[in-house]
Structure formats: structure tokens, C-alpha cells
Amino acid sequence: MEKNGDVKMESRNQKILLGLSIAAFLGPFTQTIYTPSLPEVGHFYAANQFMVNLTISLYTFILAANQFFVGPLTDTRGRKATLLPGLLIFMTGSLICFLSSNYYLFLFGRAIQAFGITTGSVVAAAVIGDIYTPHERGKAMSIYQTMVFLGPVLGPVIGSFISAYADWHTAFALLAAAALFAYLYNHSILPETLPPDAVSKKITVQTFFNIISNRAASAVMLLAFVQFYGYYIFLVFLPTLLDELFHVSLAVKGLFFMPLTAGIVLGTLLGGRLQTRLTHASILVLSSYGIGLVVALFWGFLHWKLLTIPALIIFLLGYGILLGTSLPSQSTSLVNLFLNEKGTAMGVYNFVRFTGAAIGPLFGTTLYHLGGDDALYITLFVFLLGSAFVIQRTMRQTIALQKGA
């Protein structure tokens, strides 16, 4: 009887994880689904490049800033009670974007989208912490993180096909339909997992301070910020690189994002399994230095004009694998550090990494104008190397303190 109960519990948790992963996927997927159509967006609204880029940056900044509101909300009002209204708000924003013939109304729709879908990634991580034991948490986190990182990579792939064969507004109709499905599925499957005695708990400024001032947590968040910054450098500047070096068509261009996708899937699966053999600290240190090495080699091939299509695919695959390997340990470490404030901790974490994603395209553009590919990728390498050093030093000190205690 006990074995049957365990099987039923595992099956229930898998269904819950599927619905949460879909909701978490939609946030980053929405960031990039129409990036292949940016020239068409500018033409349709008679908007300049800054105005077009603002539709992406505004979405990302709201996605980041709203974490401070959504995180505490999940720890006070509830997980399901936060997720479902968020999905409806996101669907409303998607429909506004789909129907809009005015630039400022479209921009408003993007803001509404971001405000609503913020709930997806925060609630997903919090519920995983609620329903899975510490031993099972790493594997579940790896699945959730895979879906999160599939979003910005699959976005341009699907978006390139939409822009090649249909009007670019169709992407937002697809997003509205996906939001409706996610709402109905989670309404049916997801229970409220926040413990009843935690509903009245208040989240204060001191709660945020305790999270940010924790040395291990701040090191993990710095690493996430830099890795997301680098990830979006690749996402945003890859189409330009393909145009300059290989002159690929629009429909084919989206396929070059697939190595990142495949790498992240393989990496998150690998990262989940490695957690049973290595410590989170070891995984974070090894993967962070590895990502820095990949970027250094990529820059070298690019600088000395050795970069070919097969080499580009290998570098993108390697970056994806190492990034994916790091992600489950990042989120699992934070959930384990803040068992009573999972949602708030993940909200701060998501704010930090989404801020890195928002800054990447803007700061990267400035660097590119100042020094081209050399400035762009050398700076990225220095940032990655610095964050790897910080995570190594912090984790070493944390382990020493634990042994001393």
C-alpha cells in the first residue's frame, strides 16, 4: 500500500511539475519570440531602432523588477493564488499586442505581459521546494530550469518560421493560446502547496536584506547575473554575426539557436545527475570556469578569423551545456538556504538574473560600437572569470566555516 502511495505521489508531482514548467517557460519565451521580426515591427509602427529595442528591454526590466512583488506574494498569499491571476494578466497583454495597430499600445501590451508572467518562474521554484524532498529537489529543478532556458532559445527559432510564413503578430496569438492552456491546466492540477501556518507571515525589508547579505546567496546571484548577461549577448548578437560571416537566410538563421537549446537540455540533465555525486559548490565552480574558457576560445577563433560554422556550433553547444549544468545547483542552493522564504529568495534571484538579461543587449551594444567583437567578448570573458573566482572563494570559505562549526 505504501509503495502504491509513493507511485501516486510521484505521478502527481510530475503532473504538477509539467504545468509549472510550462508557465515558467512562457516568460523567457515571450522575450525573444519576435526578435527575428524586429525590422518588420519597426516598419509596421514607423519606429526607430531605439523604440523597437525598447519593446524588449521594457519587458525584461519589468520581468526583473516585478520579482520583488511576486516573490513575497507567493510566500504570503499562496502559490496557486499568485500564479493563476498572473497567467490571465499575461494572456490579456498578449491579446493587446496581437490586436494593436499603435506602437504605444503595443508597448503597453508588452508591459502587461511582463507583469503577469513574472509569476511563472517564482511560483515554479517555490512549489518544487514545497513538494519535493531535498534529495529529489535537484532533479526537479533541472527540469524546471531546462524549460526556463528553452524559452529564449526556442523563441527565435519559432519566431523565424512565423515571420517567414505568416504575419509577425501571429506570435502573440500563439502566446495568448499558450497562456490559456497553462491557466486551465494549472487550475485543474496544481494544489495550494503553501503551508497554512505560513500564510500570515509578513515579508519585510529585513527579509530581503537577510537574503542579499548571505555570502553564499550573493555569490550565486552574481554568477547568475553574469551568465544571463553573457547568454543574452549570444542571443542578441548571433544574428548579426551570422549575417556578417556566413550570410544565412532568415528561415535558416533561427536554426543556429538550436545548439544552445540542445546544450542547455543536456547540461541541465547532467547537472541534476551530478548533484548526486558532487557538491553544489563543486558544480558551480567547475561550470563557471568552463564557461569562461569557452568564451575565451570563441573570441580567439573570431579574432583570428578561424571561426567556421561547425566551430560556431561547437562553441554554442559547449556554452549551453556548461550553463545548463550550473543552473540546477544555483536554484537548489538558494531554496536550501532559505527554506521558509523560498518564493522571496527566488524572486530576488530572478530579479538579478533578468537584470543581467536586460543589461546584456544594451551594454553589449555600447561595447560593440566602441570596440566591435573584441570589446564585446573580451569583456564577457573578464566578467565570467571574475564571477567564477568569487563563487570559488565564497564556497571555499562557506565550507570552512561549516567544518569549523
**Strand ranges inside 30-129, DSSP E:** none
**Interior angle at CA 161, CA 29 and CA 361, nearest 5:** 45
pLDDT for residue 130: 87
Q: pLDDT digit of tens for each residue in the chain (405 aa)?
A: 555 666 778 888 999 999 999 999 999 899 889 877 877 888 899 988 778 878 888 898 898 888 888 888 888 888 999 999 999 999 999 999 999 999 999 999 999 999 999 999 889 888 988 888 877 887 788 788 777 777 877 888 888 888 878 889 999 999 999 999 999 999 999 999 887 766 445 677 888 898 999 999 999 999 999 998 998 888 778 877 888 898 887 667 777 878 887 888 888 878 877 877 888 889 999 999 999 999 999 999 999 999 999 999 999 999 999 998 998 889 888 888 887 788 788 888 888 988 888 788 778 888 988 999 999 999 999 999 999 999 999 987 765 555 444
- Sequence length of the chain is 405
Alpha carbon 167 to chain centroid, angstroms: 27
- What tens digit of pLDDT does each residue of 57-86 get? 889 889 888 888 888 888 888 899 999 999
Give the 3-state secondary structure of 227-292.
Answer: HHHHHHHHHHHHHHHHHHHCCCCHHHHHHHHHHHHHHHHHHHHHHHHHCCCCCHHHHHHHHHHHHH
- How far is it, in rounded angstroms, from Cα 55 to Cα 62? 11
Phi, psi of 298 (to 5 degrees): -60, -45
Contacts of 75 (CB under 8 A, 6+ apart): 126, 194, 198, 201, 203, 341, 342, 343, 344
DSSP state of 132: S
Quote the CA–CA distance of 31 and 56 in Å, as a whole number: 6
User: What is the predicted pLDDT for the residue at 405?
Assistant: 40
Give the pLDDT score at 179: 97
pLDDT at 404: 46
Give pTM, 2 decimals: 0.77
pLDDT for res 309: 94
Please report the pLDDT score of residue 265 as a whole number. Answer: 80
pLDDT at 202: 66
Nearest to 74 by CA among 330, 337, 346: 346
- Ranges of H-type helices in 100-204: 103-131, 134-165, 170-189
As a CATH number, domain 2-404 is 1.20.1250.20
What pLDDT is stored for residue 196 in this prediction?
72
Q: Where are the domains of the chain?
A: 2-404
pLDDT score of 51: 86
